[in-house]
Chain A
Amino acid sequence: MKIISKEVLADCAGTRIVKLTLSAPEISRKAKAGQFVVVMACEKGERIPLTIVGADSKAETITLIFQETGLSTKTLGALSAGDNLYALVGPLGHATDHGLAACGKVILVAGGVGIAEIYPVAKSLKQAGNNITVVIGAKTKELLILEKELKDIADKVYVVTDDGSYGRKGFTTAALEELLKQGEYDLVYNVGPIPMMKKAAEISRSFNTRAIVSLNALMVDATGMCGCCRVTVAGQVKFSCVDGPEFEADKIDWEELEKRNCMYLDKEKHICKLKFS
């Protein structure tokens, strides 16, 4: 659970994205694309889920990339190389379903820190023989991460920024729509804020293209023992941590998820102000 190295990938206009490489022998051997870990930064900390962005079984390390959005991610971001996490458990959740393995042409769409979450999936889908197109977006140039890494593995990479400071100006979902208009794709894989995933799901549906999303429901134990992470998919209640985190985008009750993810907004703001100001 020791932090081997730390790197600040982006730090601009109040947004900080941090990369940690952790010693995690057992997890590094088991981790597959699409899976996540639960981290407790300190003894009094929360259990928060973070995607396993990379795993190196030889070096016995895993890599996490996260944005400092609130207290728990800020506490984690304040640690340095050599520090130990209080708890690290995984790999959790299902690996990216390899029913997708050789499905053909895939577009992966992500914005902000979501780019970190699609990276391992893009890599694994490429290795499985698919043609990979990636659409990544950020608010502004300084906040764009993993562009080079994705260019190394993907067949095509499109970059958009909200302010037009780099790549095309606009949103990832608009770029997705354009690509689907221009050509046939077999699958859309998407990670990002809920409104973006919802929009991407609508667009994919309108082109009759299958879409998969990795959901970011709130979690506690992340082993199926609390139901905090429950989402409604095709009218059925699922636990994101053990049944997901990936689901068919088409069938998700987005409104419910969006509301549930705001359940602690007041408390989170309060504690973050209290401890980080």
Chain B
Amino acid sequence: MRREPVKARELAADKRADSFDEVVAGYSESQAFSEAGRCLQCKNPTCISGCPVGINIKKFIYQITQNDYASAYFTIRETNNFPSICGRVCPAEYQCRKACVLNKSRIAYASSEAINIHFLERFIGDYGMRHNLKVPKEEDARLSKIKVAVVGSGPAGLCCAGELARKGIKVVIFESLQSCGGVLRYGIPGFRLPDEILDYEINYLNRLGVEFKTNVVVGKTILLNELFQQGFDKVFLGLGAGVPSFLGIKGENLCNVYSANEFLTRVNLMSAYKFPEYHTPVNIGEHVLVIGGGNTAMDAARCALRLQKMSGIQPGVSIIYRRTETEMPARRLEIGHAREEGIEFKFLTQPKEFYADEKGFVRGLNALSCKLGDPDSSGRKRPVADEGSDFTIPCDLAIIAVGLQANRVLSSVTPELKTDKYQDIVVDPGSMETSMKNVFAGGDIVGGEGTVIEAMGMAKKAARAIIDKA
């Protein structure tokens, strides 16, 4: 008889939502062993094709069944630099798990039967971290004179820096914010990815010799061509997609209407949840609406709920989404967590207009009901608003999480850098080189909002091209 999938340990929903402590505790050794034992070790391991960096999933799972965790770690590290991070945030159900033969679902994401590859990866990543396992440096005398500037310290920048530094290349990371990590720092909250995990990886890069220059906006503090004048031979751009989209409806600039990026940046990067110990304020309300259906919306909603609980407010957070749960792009695990914590979902609802009190603070949302129509270019069914179905939802705080666009600070002052109509940087897909010679790019700044592992995949490809062309 086939065994049941092993669930990872978690903090209970009623115990966790009043702090930013990590929710998922992961597998114990025996749980990992048991879950690994469910893997069929397929002759044709389809799972691998689902992973954007092609981790040898079958092999590392086999190594777990042999209790050979160190080998499992090095198997993953062949293609993924940050298993502890990916094991926590990778939307595996849309990627590797969806491609696992045990997956029974025909929709966009895997069913629970698929092997919990991400939890196994996290177990191994954390094992490696605890035992300080390191991929050996492969210094190459030919490369030791090369200097590379990495712009942006999100997963793309960090991954590229690590790959290059390991070969003995001198790398300097330039980051505009005061701390490194990109979305991993300012967007994804600590209850999904604790700061210590990120700090561990950053410290490791430090020890590899990577230099970090925070508070430098390339394009403002220093121009791209000046990096070359300063002696850098190549530049990698991991600028990310950090510019929030808005709905373009009336009332969107009212007080207490936030973009998810602003809300999350205040809470995560600036630690506003520890106000007044930390000086950056953030407001919270009794009825919070979060507009959107992606990971950003889930994170914003769960942060808002925590702020409510921490300030003694009866929780009241609703997610407003135009389609239904099936079409939501967020990770299924996190949709589940949000629901367990008490967040409500209002599906098939299209925002029309926010309204305010006399002081200009938002008081509610006028909305329309929707039906699902024919599939659009993304294959998801298109929501069609029902004219005349107007209704109102009271709120005193709203968070808009409807997508992000390319960071443009650098490209707007660098006309030689070719961008497409979305302002994403155009690259040669083989080498990730941009229209500017010796300038490479990867991550969300290429092809728009993606995932952490996709960003790292592009960064690795760029690192390889930089090494080959050096």
Taking a contact as CB atoms under 8 Å apart, the answer to whether B262 and A227 are in contact is yes
A92 lies within 8 A of B244 (CB)? no
Question: With the chains together, A242 CA to B281 CA distance in Å?
Answer: 22
> In the bound complex, do residue B255 and residue A259 qualify as a contact, i.e. CB atoms below 8 Å apart?
yes
B residues 230-267 with Cβ under 8 Å of A? 242-244, 246, 252-256, 258-259, 261-262, 265-266
- Provide the residues of chain B in CB contact with A90, threshold 8 Å: 217, 220-221
Question: How distant is A215 from chain B, measured CB to nearest CB, in Å?
Answer: 13
Contact A259 B359 (CB under 8 A): yes
A228 to B279, CA, bound (A): 16
Please determine whether B262 and A88 come into contact, CB atoms closer than 8 angstroms.
no
Q: Is the interface of A mostly helix, strand, loop or mixed?
A: mixed
- Counting CB contacts under 8 A, is B215 at the interface? yes
Q: A223-B409, A271-B275 are in contact. Are A256 and B360 (CB under 8 A)?
A: yes
Residue of A nearest to B187 (CB): A225
Size of chain B's interface in residues, with CB distance under 8 A? 40
Asked whether A263 lies within 8 Å of B255 as measured between CB atoms, the reply is yes
B19 at the interface (CB under 8 A from A): no
Give A258's nearest chain B residue, CB to CB: B360
**Contact A220:B255 (CB < 8 A) given known A89-B216, A237-B246, A264-B281:** no
Residues 356-378 of B, flagged 1 when their CB comes within 8 A of A and 0 if not, give 00011000000000000000000
Contact indicator A40/B253 (Cβ below 8 Å)? no
Interface status of B11 (Cβ within 8 A of chain A): no
Interface of B is mostly: loop
Give the CA-CA distance A226 to B265 in the complex, in Å: 8
Selected from A75, A227, A255, A259, the residue in CB contact (under 8 A) with B259 is A227
A224 and B215 contact, CB distance less than 8 A: no
Q: Mark A87-117, 1 if CB is under 8 A from B, else 0.
A: 1111110000000000000000000000000
CA distance A118 to B69 in the complex (A): 64
Is B270 at the interface (CB under 8 A from chain A)? Answer: yes
A212-255 interface mask toward B, CB cutoff 8 Å, 1 = contact, 0 = none? 00000000110111111011100001000010000000000001
Contact B409 A267 (CB under 8 A): no
Digit string of B134-162 for contact with A (CB within 8 Å is 1, else 0)? 00000000000000000000000000000
Count of interface residues, chain A, beta-carbon cutoff 8 Å:
44
A44 and B215 within 8 A (CB) = no
Residues of B within 8 A of A271 (CB): 275-276, 279, 281
CA distance A94 to B281 in the complex (A): 27
Would you give the shortest CB distance from B283 to chain A, in whole angstroms? Answer: 7
Q: Is A82 an interface residue (CB 8 A)?
A: no
Docked CA distance A232–B360 (Å): 14
**Once the chains are docked, how many angstroms separate the CA of A92 from the CA of B412?**
13
Inter-chain CA distance A87–B213, complex, in Å, is 11
Known A-B contacts A26-B221, A88-B215, A228-B262; the reply to A237 vs B243 at CB < 8 A is no
Contact partner, A220, options B221, B254, B262, Cβ 8 Å: B262
Q: Which residue of B is nearest A75, CB measured? A: B279
How far, in Å, is A229 (CB) from chain B's closest CB?
9
- State A72–B278 Cα separation when bound (angstroms): 11
Interface assignment of A199: CB less than 8 Å from any CB of chain B: no
B447–chain A nearest beta-carbon distance, Å: 19
The answer to the question of A12 belonging to the interface, with a C-beta cut-off of 8 Å to chain B, is: no
Contact with B along A26-46 (1 / 0, CB 8 A): 110010000000001000111
B359 to chain A, nearest CB (A): 7
Residues of B near A68 (CB, < 8 A) are none
Of A27, A72, A89, most B-chain CB atoms within 10 Å: A89
Nearest-neighbour CB distance to chain B for A90, whole angstroms, equals 7
- Find B215's partner among A89, A225, A230, A270 (CB 8 Å cutoff): A89
> Which of B243, B246, B277, B408 counts the most A-chain CB atoms under 10 A from its CB?
B243
A255: nearest residue on chain B (CB-CB)? B360
Contact indicator A87/B215 (Cβ below 8 Å): yes
Q: Tell me, rounded to whole Å, the shortest Cβ–Cβ distance linking B142 to chain A.
A: 32
Question: Is A230 within 8 A of B253, CB to CB?
Answer: yes
Given known A89-B217, A230-B253, A237-B246, contact A44–B271 (CB-CB < 8 A): yes
Q: Is the CB of B217 within 8 A of A223?
A: yes
Q: What CA separation (Å) do A40 and B270 show in the bound complex?
A: 11
Name the one of B214, B221, B253 contacting A87, with C-beta atoms under 8 angstroms: B214
A224-B256 CB under 8 A given contacts A88-B215, A90-B221: no
Q: Which 8 A-B pairs have the closest CB atoms?
A: A259-B360, A226-B262, A225-B242, A267-B281, A89-B215, A87-B178, A227-B259, A271-B276
A-B contact pairs, 20 of them (CB 8 A): A30-B220, A44-B271, A46-B279, A75-B279, A87-B214, A89-B217, A89-B221, A90-B217, A221-B177, A224-B407, A225-B407, A228-B259, A230-B253, A237-B246, A256-B253, A259-B255, A259-B359, A259-B360, A263-B256, A271-B275
B residues in contact (CB < 8 Å) with A: 176-178, 214-217, 220-222, 242-244, 246, 252-256, 258-259, 261-262, 265-266, 270-271, 275-281, 283, 359-360, 407-409
- Additional A-B contacts beyond A45-B280, A223-B220, A259-B360 (19; CB < 8 A): A26-B216, A27-B221, A46-B270, A47-B280, A90-B217, A92-B217, A220-B270, A226-B244, A227-B246, A228-B258, A228-B262, A230-B253, A256-B253, A256-B360, A259-B255, A260-B255, A271-B275, A271-B276, A271-B281
